[in-house]
Amino acid sequence: MDWLSKLRAKIVCFEKIVQIPLSNGDILEVHGERPEGNLKQLKTMKVNESKLKDIPVVREFPDVFPENLSGLPPSRKVEFRIDLIHGAMPVAKSPYRLAPTKMQELANQLKELQDKGFIRPSSSPWGAPVLFVKKKDGSFRMCIDYRELNKLTIKNRYPFPRIDDLFDQLQGSKYFSKIDLRSGYHQLRVREEDISKTAFRTRYGHFKFTVMSFGLTNATMVFMDLMNRVCRPYLDKFVIVFIDDILI
């Protein structure tokens, strides 16, 4: 029905007519009174989708295509650091009130993050509250409200690529492969002396991140820096990178 709405079509049910306004001002009328022998049927068939495990390159390099990140990422040249303005003091806020369903989600996600080593118990003087953001698939992403910490953080001015420059690189290309990193932010460690600043407070305890978390003010800049370093030999040749999205 979307194309009928786009064309501003009018359906007159009792007359079995569809009226479609044309650009020249005329009205195209489609009459529905036809012999049944001339009726046509349209069918849609779902194409069999390839499963990840059936792709040869995935089977050849299983460590590059894991189902989930099972532990801490390796040490890299880039670490996430939190440099504070002069005179900044720790800030701690009370946990936000959550609905019972989100409390269960919180408990589940905390356990998963702890099992992977992404968070650990904390006694830090810092403490941010937790909230949840609904994702497109209906599930919830746990986010930390780092606004108070962000106000005290020196901003990283690492540049992002211009979108128009990226589009210029696509000219003349026909085939594209898009790679979206799995849990991209969690693939970058937090500098050891800054881990305590990532602390957050919940109904189930006080924790801190060992990997980069959503909501931190310089997260996208630092991740862009990492991706540019990793992909530098291929940039402007056949690879385009924007934060955690890679286009080949």
Lowest mean pLDDT among 183-192, 197-206, 219-228: 183-192
In a domain, 59, yes or no: no
Is residue 173 domain-shared with residue 76, that is, in the same domain?
yes
In a domain, 11, yes or no: yes
Q: Mean of the pLDDT values across residues 45-61?
A: 67
Is residue 25 domain-shared with residue 77, that is, in the same domain?
no
In a domain, 54, yes or no: no
Is residue 9 domain-shared with residue 110, that is, in the same domain?
no
pLDDT of 208 over the 50 cut: yes
pTM of the entire predicted model: 0.69
Residue with tokens 């012999």: 35
Q: What is the pLDDT of residues 97-136, one digit of tens each?
A: 998 889 999 999 999 999 999 999 999 999 999 999 888 8
In a domain, 114, yes or no: yes
Q: Which residues fall within 8 angstroms of residue 117, CB to CB, at 6 or more apart?
A: 71, 72, 210
In a domain, 174, yes or no: yes
List, as one string, the DSSP characters of 139-154.
-EEEEE--HHHHHTBP
The rounded distance, in Å, linking the Cα atoms of 72 and 211 is 8
Domains identified in the chain, total number: 2
Number of C-beta neighbours around residue 38 at 10 A: 6
Percent above pLDDT 70 for the chain: 81
Lowest mean pLDDT among 32-36, 191-195, 220-224: 32-36
CA–chain centroid gap for 75, Å, is 23
In a domain, 52, yes or no: no
Say if residues 106 and 73 touch (Cβ distance below 8 Å).
no
Is residue 19 domain-shared with residue 98, that is, in the same domain?
no
Say if residues 127 and 144 touch (Cβ distance below 8 Å).
no
pLDDT on residue 42 = 46
Tell me which residue range forms the domain holding 184: 68-247
Rg over CA atoms, the chain? 26
CATH number at residue 229: 3.10.10.10
